[in-house]
Amino acid sequence: MVLPQEVQRKVSSIENLATLPNIATEILEMIRKSNSNMREIARVIEKDVSVTTKILKVSNSPLWGFAGRIDNVNRALVILGLKQVTNIVVAVSLYSAFTKLKPNPYFNREKFWLHSAATGQISRTLSKKLKLNFHGEDFVAALIHDIGKFILDQFLSEQFKYTLEYAQNSGKKIIDAEKEVLGCDHAEIGAWLLQRWNFPEAISTAVLFHHHPEKAPQHRDLTSVIHISDMLCEMWGIGFDEDTTKFYLKENPGWNILRNTHPHLYKMDVEKFTFQLKSDIDKARLFIQLIGE
């Protein structure tokens, strides 16, 4: 992933972006090596009291659907699984890191995180409905699909402010305005950052192509799920600039990709599914509340 020289120089020089928050980096590295046991991973997580507390809050909430009591990280790993706990660690780490940054009156941070979390929850529901198992990568990719917007907001704030104003005044989508003003868009910036952080290729690909899943060279099912979840979230009024008045799921490029590989989707009651997503929005609000406390 190559960014325009000026943009890359700017974001490359920012110390905050040099690495993912330490605990998430360490966990992702341990998973990549695939020879670490759960007890070792639990010990790494437990070194950070704040992250541990939030993992247990989320684990014991209605979000993951476990009826018993999870009172330590090792039990969370056994009950929820390594991928799900990793999802929570990444979410908590990113939220904690980015919420400490300076506010910007031109960018609604609260709306940004709600949109991100809601897209994550919808992607989990959609994957389950479609009987697709991405081992948790759908939630993480959906949660951070717009992370490039946050980078623009925080570290290229003047250019981003102008881009938002230009999009509003011209009636263009923000992603198109970004291309004109910056020479790249938030999806490309987000994918560049995730590659720098050594995220799994499937996740960085889904982030890069989440507006255009038909252009993804691989991981098209995952990318399509993120794209559709993003659009459904926008349709529910939790988003930024997508025109969802003309959004028909059955005509969506991402839906066509999934339908070509999973023919049983032709029988799915799309309208019914679409209007049953309120519970996912509610879960997203709870998730933000839990990791933000």
CATH number at residue 66: 1.10.3210.10
Q: Which residue from 103, 208, 90 is spatially nearest to 153, judged by alpha carbons?
A: 103
Amino acid at 148: G
The mean predicted confidence, pLDDT, of the chain is 83
* Contact (Cβ atoms closer than 8 angstroms) between residue 52 and residue 45: yes
Element (H, E) at 273: helix 270-274
- Among 17-26, 152-161, 258-267, the minimum mean pLDDT is found in 17-26
Element (H, E) at 139: helix 137-143
Amino acid at 260: N
Using CA atoms, how far apart are residues 181 and 113, in angstroms rounded to an integer?
25
Element (H, E) at 85: helix 82-98
- Give me the torsion for CA of 38, 44, 47, 53, rounded to 10°: -50
Burial category of 79 from C-beta neighbours within 10 Å (exposed 0-12, middle 13-18, buried 19 and up)? middle
Q: Identify which has the larger pLDDT, 122 or 252.
A: 122
pTM flag (> 0.95): no
Per the structure, the complete domain to which residue 261 belongs is given by 5-292
Q: Which long-range contacts (CB under 8 A, 24 or more apart) does 77-85 make?
A: 77/38, 77/41, 77/42, 78/38, 81/136, 82/31, 82/38, 82/41, 83/135, 83/136, 83/137, 84/136, 85/41, 85/45, 85/55, 85/59
Total domains in the chain come to 1
Report the pLDDT value the prediction gives residue 179, as an integer from 0 to 100: 92
Report the pLDDT value the prediction gives residue 291, as an integer from 0 to 100: 82
Q: Identify which has the larger pLDDT, 265 or 240.
A: 265
Q: Identify which has the larger pLDDT, 40 or 11.
A: 40
Using CA atoms, how far apart are residues 287 and 179, in angstroms rounded to an integer?
32
